[in-house]
């Protein structure tokens, strides 16, 4: 239960910069998430926070206390940081109760037992206290690992790809469960994952990482609707970029019509520094920004379609030849090559300078 602050943290192996100038603040009791493709440095960031990797520059503070700075680190066992590992790393020679109670020290046996019981109840495994890890299913092992990490009431919980060893359906259910458990224990938690659905369903704050840097530290909603740059726009959610022409600093015209938004349009560097009329930009269109409407006069050709159950994801070829995506309820089953009516339903204009 403490605030976590990373203040321009850098770490490198030899010449290779793993994380660069990493800064974010995770408020007390909040659940944060580092999201990024493999090799983006998110796991290293986690290991720096847990105290297994030194940092070269910057500072890491937990609850206002500096735990890492360049050439100094508080040993992992003194940090009161709990960690849930990707492979759970349960102790195979101890029972479930033994695992959960492992980190409880300096307490009476009764106190220990009470805390173990409390946590097993919290994660719904009271009936399994006497079993050994190998007798449990993957999801149950995961919850034992979480209970073990929570038991000593750490100031911070870290989770490394917590659901990657589970099958897809279980992941979704467990991520909601885990969020619930963390919130009930009122623990500050930081989770690392490459799966945006996991990040969105778990976290209050998400940092998208790429090449060792945080691209954007924001709420899931803002990441999707107001991505700060092309990488975030591409990595989070689906979408397509179409050419637009700037009308003024909050309006852009694309071939389907004029879009208005509240964030400033990011303009072309060549020739127009300020966003004035006729600058060219790339406008992000999410699949939910284009709505199918049989009455619309705007027509687009169905180039490809993917059945998603409740809806189709159509890849559309616009009159100019540019491509866009559209999410359409699945009773609108159109054939490939058919021309269908569409209209714009854009809340947030996201435009990037052209490269």
Partner 1 sequence: MLLALAIAALVLVPVVVTFSSFARVEGDILAHLIEFALPELVGNTLWLILGVGLGVSVLGVSLAWLTAMCEFPGRRLFDWALLLPLALPAYVTAFVAIGLLDFTGPLQTWLREGWGITGLPEIRSRGGVILVMSLALYPYVYLIAKNAFATQGAIALEAAQSLGLSRTQGFFRVALPMARPWIAAGLMLALMETLADFGTMAIFNYDTFTTAIYKAWYSLFSLAAAAQLASILILFVLVAVVFEQRSRAQMRYSAVGRSAAQRRIRLSPTLAALAFLYAGVVLAIAFLIPLTQLALWTREVIADDLDTRYWAFAWHSVLLAGIGALMVVTVALLLAYAGRKRPGPAMMWTQRLATLGYAFPGAVLAVGLFIPVAALDNWLIDTGRAWFGFDGTEILKGTLAVMLLAYLVRFLAVGFGPIDSGLHRITRNVDEAARNLGTGAAGLLTRIHLPMLRASLLTAATFAFVDIMKEMPITLMTRPFGWDTLAVRVFEMTSEGEWERAALPSLAIVIAGIIPIILLTWHGTRSHN
Q: Which residues are at the interface with partner 1 (CB under 8 A)?
A: 50, 52, 75-83, 85-87, 89-93, 102-103, 105, 148-149, 151-152, 154
The DSSP H or E segment spanning 147 is: helix 138-150
Q: Are 144 and 125 in contact, with CB atoms under 8 Å apart? A: yes
Closer of 60 and 236 to partner 1 (Cβ): 60
| Beta carbon of residue 205, minimum distance to partner 1 (angstroms, whole number) | 23
Task: Choose between 153 and 197: whose C-beta lies nearer to partner 1.
Answer: 153
Give, for 110, the enclosing helix (H) or strand (E). helix 109-122
Residue with Cβ nearer partner 1 (2 or 241) = 2
Q: Which is nearer to partner 1, 29 or 98 (CB)?
A: 98
- Tell the smallest beta-carbon distance from residue 150 to partner 1 (Å): 11
Q: Among candidates 132, 129, 133, which has minimal Cα distance to 142?
A: 133
Q: Give min distance, CB of 30 to partner 1, in A.
A: 21
**Spatial strand order in the sheet of 72-73:** 16-26, 4-13, 57-62, 65-69, 72-73
Pick 149 or 346: Cβ nearer partner 1: 149
Give the torsion through C-alpha atoms of 86, 87, 91, 95, to 10 deg. Answer: 100
Min. distance of Cβ 145 from partner 1 in angstroms? 8
Q: How far is the CB of 328 from partner 1 (least distance, A)?
A: 42
Q: Give the total residue count for the chain.
A: 355
State how far the Cα of 262 lies from the Cα of 185, in Å rounded to an integer: 38
Q: Identify which of residues 18 and 144 has a Cβ nearer to partner 1 in the complex.
A: 144
SS3 call for 291: strand
Least distance to partner 1, CB of residue 158, Å? 8
| Cα distance between residue 210 and residue 39, in whole Å | 8
Whole-angstrom Cα distance, residue 291 to residue 294? Answer: 10
């Amino acid at each position: 239960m403490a605030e976590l602050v990373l203040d321009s943290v850098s770490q490198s192996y030899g010449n290779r910069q793993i994380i660069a100038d990493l800064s974010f603040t995770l408020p007390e009791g909040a659940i944060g998430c580092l999201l990024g493709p493999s090799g983006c440095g998110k796991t290293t960031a986690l290991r720096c926070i847990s105290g297994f990797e030194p940092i070269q520059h910057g500072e890491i503070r937990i609850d206002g206390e500096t735990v890492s700075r360049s050439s100094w680190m508080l040993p992992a066992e003194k940090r009161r940081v709990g960690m849930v590992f990707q492979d759970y790393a349960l102790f195979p020679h101890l029972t479930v109760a033994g695992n959960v109670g492992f980190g409880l020290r300096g307490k009476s046996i009764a106190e220990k037992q009470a805390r173990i019981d409390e946590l097993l109840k919290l994660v719904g495994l009271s009936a399994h206290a006497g079993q050994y890890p190998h007798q449990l299913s993957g999801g149950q092992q995961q919850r034992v690992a979480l209970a073990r990490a929570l038991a000593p009431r750490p100031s911070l919980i870290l989770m490394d790809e917590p659901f990657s060893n589970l099958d897809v359906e279980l992941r979704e259910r467990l991520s909601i469960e885990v969020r619930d458990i963390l919130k009930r224990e009122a623990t500050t938690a930081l989770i690392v994952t490459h799966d945006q659905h996991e990040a969105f369903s778990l976290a209050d704050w998400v940092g998208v990482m790429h090449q060792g840097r945080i691209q954007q530290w924001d709420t899931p909603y803002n990441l999707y609707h107001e991505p700060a740059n092309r990488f975030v726009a591409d990595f989070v959610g689906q979408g397509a970029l179409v050419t637009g022409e700037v009308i003024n600093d909050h309006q852009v015209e694309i071939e389907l019509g004029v879009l208005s938004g509240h964030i400033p349009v990011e303009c072309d560097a060549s020739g127009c520094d300020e966003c004035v009329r006729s600058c060219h930009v790339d406008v992000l269109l999410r699949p939910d920004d284009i709505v199918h409407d049989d009455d619309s006069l705007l027509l687009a050709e169905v180039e490809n379609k993917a059945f998603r159950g409740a809806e189709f994801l159509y890849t559309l070829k616009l009159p100019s030849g540019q491509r866009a995506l559209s999410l359409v309820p699945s009773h609108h089953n159109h054939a490939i090559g058919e021309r269908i009516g569409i209209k714009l339903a854009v809340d947030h204009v996201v435009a990037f300078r052209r490269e």
